[in-house]
Chain A
Amino acid sequence: MTALGVAAPERLADLKRRLPTGARLHFSVLALVLVVMAFLPLVVPESALPVAIRTLIFAIMAVGWNLMSGYGGMFSFGHAAFFGVGAYTNAYLLTAFGVSPWIGMIVGAGLSAGVGVLIAYLCLKYKLAGSYFALATFAFAQMFLLVTLNMEFLNKSEGINIPLLPEESWSMLQFDQGSLYYYWIPLVLLGVAVAVSISFVYSRPGQFAQAIRDDPTAAESLGIKVMKYRLIPVALSCAVTAVAGAFYTQYYLFIGPDQAFGLHVSTDAIIPAVIGGIGTIWGPLIGAAVIGPLSAVVAGFLRDPPPFLEFLYGTSGLDIAIYAILLILIVVFLPKGIYGTIRERRRK
């Protein structure tokens, strides 16, 4: 059956009692999706593996962003800051002290959550909302970029290379190039991120956070501690995004200031969530599945264009132009995203 089916009977009954129906359904779908996706590399050609891995990284980032901006209602335009903190923490601990990336990942997630909570606390304390919140988070991400460029111990603009090991190692999270573990590990990480999302959304703090998002004044008058329940999704969001950053470093064996803190990193976290559906469990995954392979598909298409599009041969930029048009059309005409719109139609 599903993931719940493997639990011992008494545990299962216990779980069923505690979990609301909606959450149980989401967990079942998640288990099914993970199982199907686990077999994906056996079907698709090997050359598609890097694209699939990139897509998984996008998906983890978007799931993270969605926690803070979708469910928490605080529009972050600087998630690069949290991705970068995760990536650099891992890279620095590994190269300077030989710390295992698994530990680096957890330390990075914790550090990133701390940084995120601090930034969000300051923004909320000074009552920044909407565009101003977005601009402030953006400014922080840019400041992190500039600080990294000046930090001797982070190798300034040159970035940090992860030393290549002579043989595969689970503890150091390094495998042969093209190894399927590089696909399955982020898949499991994504599964954990989505599970965190589902648990949060159906938990008490999650319900409080959504109530605050929809009407802070009403929520406060009901006795909900607004600041506390706003910072919880921020912390979770930053931690999830940092994990994506740490894995990114391990997979590409390199992290530089631009790959960590560049503006495009922030948009990479936002756009899949927006296209799939902000504030939904499955939106970020669907959005990532649309956006992730787009570049590769367009590049393949341009290598052998049909006659009437011959003039596009050899040009670059078409993939991002298409992605931009898609973004504009979805924001203007389907503000709830692909998944959000489908869900709404089905409910009617």
Chain B
Amino acid sequence: MLTTERGRIVLGLFAITVLGIAAVYLFGGKDSNLVTQTVVTGLLLGGVYVLVSLGLTLIFGVLGIVNFAQGAMLAMAMYLVYFMVSSAGINPYLAVVLSAPIMFGFGWLVQSTLMNRLITDVGHSRPLLVTLGLSLLISNTLLMIFGGRPLNVPSPYAGSVQILGAIADVPRIIAFVGAVIVAGGLIVILRKSPVGLAIRAVAANGTGASLVGVNVKRIYAMTFGLGAASVGVAGGLLAPFTSLVPSAGDQFTTLAFVIVVLGGLGSVPGALVGGIFIGLLQTVGSLFLPGSGPLLLVFGMFVLVLFLRPQGLFGANK
């Protein structure tokens, strides 16, 4: 694992995270109970970020599409779950299982009807503009159907438990576990299934893949679909602890980009470690920085990563 660029990114991020937390405990000068609580909160927040980033790492990493509709698709999945729970009265976690294939279909449709027409655009600005339009369209359609008043999906497992003396919300723990399961599922699909092999082939060399008989456009549609399905699961798992408004997903769009670029494009383990890293950076950072300082730190990090690691950024395409 150490021999590959991606492996190094994952291990490096992991090491920085562990060392950072250790440093905060030892030299932070804060009450250790408070730090534990912050770390647990950060881990769980990171789980949420991982869920949102997994879909994006496929869409951005394999297709090279700056998907600005990621957050809007997340909101769409949340409302889908809300609709199923409130109209049919089913368990929200069962609704997650149903929303994933619906979102897969939506993603497939977007890629095959719109984005596949734009793959010749080398500057990537047209796909970005289409996803921007898509994001506005989804948010405002949700606004027209459900209105702007906040809605909520009641969780059947509301409540909290103690972990190492810190309090943790049960729905958030479920979301964290879900993030790890989705990441594992995606790794298995990408590494072991024929579709995964084709996706990796297309990501490595589109022309080469088409020469050996891969239907590149179909694989593109499949990849966007898989990305959307991951978002579908994310939306369902986030809904029980999110105040549901049409713009609920927007804040995640940017963070997902940060995480995906940080963890390496198209790298599922990278998104997993990157998401947890950013979650911790934000919560632990809030111990030392006031107001929106931690978020500023996250963006500063992003620009730095963009500047200093261009070769890592293009890793998935070359």
Contacts and interface: CB of A to CB of B under 8 A. Distances in A.
Q: Which of B122, B139, B306 has the most CB of A within 10 A?
A: B306
Interface in A306-348: 312, 315-318, 320-321, 323-325, 327-328, 331-332, 335
B129 A130 contact: no
A325 B134 CA distance: 8
A130 B124 contact: yes
B156 interface: no
Interface stretch (B17-25, B163-171, B206-214, B288-296): B288-296
B133 interface: yes
Contacts, number: 126
A143 B137 contact: no
Interface of A is mostly: helix
B128 A77 contact: yes
Q: Which of B64, B132, B261 has the most CB of A within 10 A?
A: B132
Contacts of B121: 335
B64 A135 contact: no
A332 B128 contact: no
A126 interface: yes
Contacts of A312: 144
Interface in A122-158: 122-123, 126-128, 130-132, 134-136, 138-140, 142-143, 146-147, 149-150
A327 B147 CA distance: 23
A75 B122 CA distance: 13
Contact of B296 (A146, A267, A318): A146
B117 A317 contact: no
Given A149-B292, A327-B132, A332-B117, A135 B257 contact: yes
Interface in B123-158: 123-126, 128-130, 132-137, 139-144, 147-148
A149 B291 contact: yes
A143 B300 contact: yes
Contacts of A150: 290-293, 296
B108 to A, nearest CB: 17
A274 interface: yes
B114 interface: yes
B313 interface: yes
B66 interface: yes
A126 B144 contact: no
Contact of B140 (A267, A321, A335): A321
A270 interface: yes
Contact of B124 (A131, A139, A149, A321): A131
B302 interface: yes
B159 interface: no
Interface in A73-87: 73, 75, 77
Contact of B126 (A73, A149, A335): A335
B140 A140 contact: no
A332 B130 contact: yes
A134 B254 CA distance: 12
Contact of A318 (B139, B140, B290): B140
A142 B303 CA distance: 11
B169 to A, nearest CB: 27
A317 B130 contact: no
Contacts of B293: 150
B90 interface: no
Contacts of A317: 139-144, 246
A75 B123 contact: yes
Given A134-B66, A142-B299, A143-B299, A122 B137 contact: no
Interface of B: 64, 66, 114, 117-118, 121-126, 128-130, 132-137, 139-144, 147-148, 246, 250, 254, 257, 261, 290-293, 295-296, 299-300, 302-303, 306-308, 310, 313
Given A149-B291, A328-B130, A335-B121, 8 more contacts: A136-B303, A139-B306, A147-B296, A315-B143, A317-B141, A320-B136, A332-B126, A335-B126
14 contacts: A122-B307, A131-B125, A135-B66, A135-B261, A135-B302, A139-B306, A140-B303, A142-B299, A143-B303, A267-B132, A270-B132, A318-B140, A328-B130, A332-B126
